Amino acid sequence: MNFIKKIDFKRVSLHCLYWIFFLFFYISNKDRHTSTYDFTFVYTFKILAQAIAGYGLIYWIIPQTLNKKKYLIFILSALAWLYVAFAILMTLKYYYLEPKFPGFFDDWLGHKMTVPERLTSFKLILREFSFITYPIIILGFISFNRKQQRLLKLEEEKKSMELKILKNQLNPHFLFNTLNNLYTLTLKKDEKAPEVIAKLSEILDFVLYRCNDDYVSIEKEILLIDNYIALEKLRYGVNRLDILFSQEIQESNKISPLIILTFIENAFKHGVINETEKAIIRLHLESKKQQIIFSIENTKPQNTFSETSDKSKIGLINVRKQLDLLYPKKHQLEIDESQTKYTVKLCLSI
């Protein structure tokens, strides 16, 4: 009973229809003088030989040899298995089909041969191998295509899971920094705190509800950046920060959420926090046909407290991983660091 429950009847039915199709294909091409009953009976056995050869190759020999990169063993095993199917068919013809339908095989190449002669005739082997294998090639292609689709689906699921893990790592990292900003203002009892909460609320709405998709519109990403910059302006004020965010939106493209924001976070973290003088940050975002270009440049503090810790690299590492997953061979990330400034340029092909 358990064996019956495991049977995929839909798949079995499709395979049966496949071989029935070939049987009708053969019948449609038969000689009009040949009996349909005789032809159907004989070719049913031929199809059984094709099925034995096909399923043995696809479900036994290929998984055990070709999939394990044992190429020589695969070739030898495949030829041996096809020869077994050929030998079964030749023996069946000689001892059963030809006595039952004596006139059916009059024009067949091996009609006058004995069984040993048939099994060693290269010309007959070549002819029958070609007959046995061509339905197998089609069946093998269908099977290969199904496996490829299954692998692609598994790869997409793996990719989606990796992205979720990366975002789950990135979002708390981003929120932790923003909450730190708010904490600093509340300690000072700054009147800007309510405005910070309002901006943070908009950011939370984006991070928790709108960036679950792999891609969002460039306008939504710009709104998130504007809110984040507004928060940082409130935190540092005009005396410590000179920031300019320029935009050139020729076309409304889609972009992976939070990708750009990580570079902006790093610019504030390493370019402003430890800066004793006025920090300068310049951002430029360009969205045109099939391309998004983002660049950011920030001054570096000229003191010993500006070194980057391992913990601060989490966001950048995650961004690189997300770029590899979402923009494989479609992105170019350039990071340049000099003694006085830090520059990042990101080009995305859409």
Whole-structure pTM value = 0.53
Distance separating alpha carbons of residues 56 and 74, to the nearest angstrom: 12
CA distances from 337 to 33, 69, 274, 275, 299 (A): 86, 46, 17, 16, 10
Q: Does 171 have pLDDT greater than 60?
A: no
For residue 4, give the amino acid letter. Answer: I
Of residues 336 and 210, the one with the higher pLDDT is 336
User: Which of 221, 348, 217 lies closest to 290, judged by CA?
Assistant: 348
What per-residue confidence (pLDDT) applies to 281? 93
Please calculate the CA angle 327-265-280 and round it to the nearest 5 degrees. 115
Distance separating alpha carbons of residues 246 and 163, to the nearest angstrom: 29
Lowest-pLDDT choice from 135-149, 210-224, 292-306: 135-149
**Residue range 119-146, pLDDT digits in tens:** 988 888 888 888 888 777 777 777 777 7
What is the pLDDT averaged over residues 103-116?
A: 80
**Residue range 248-271, pLDDT digits in tens:** 999 999 998 878 888 888 888 777
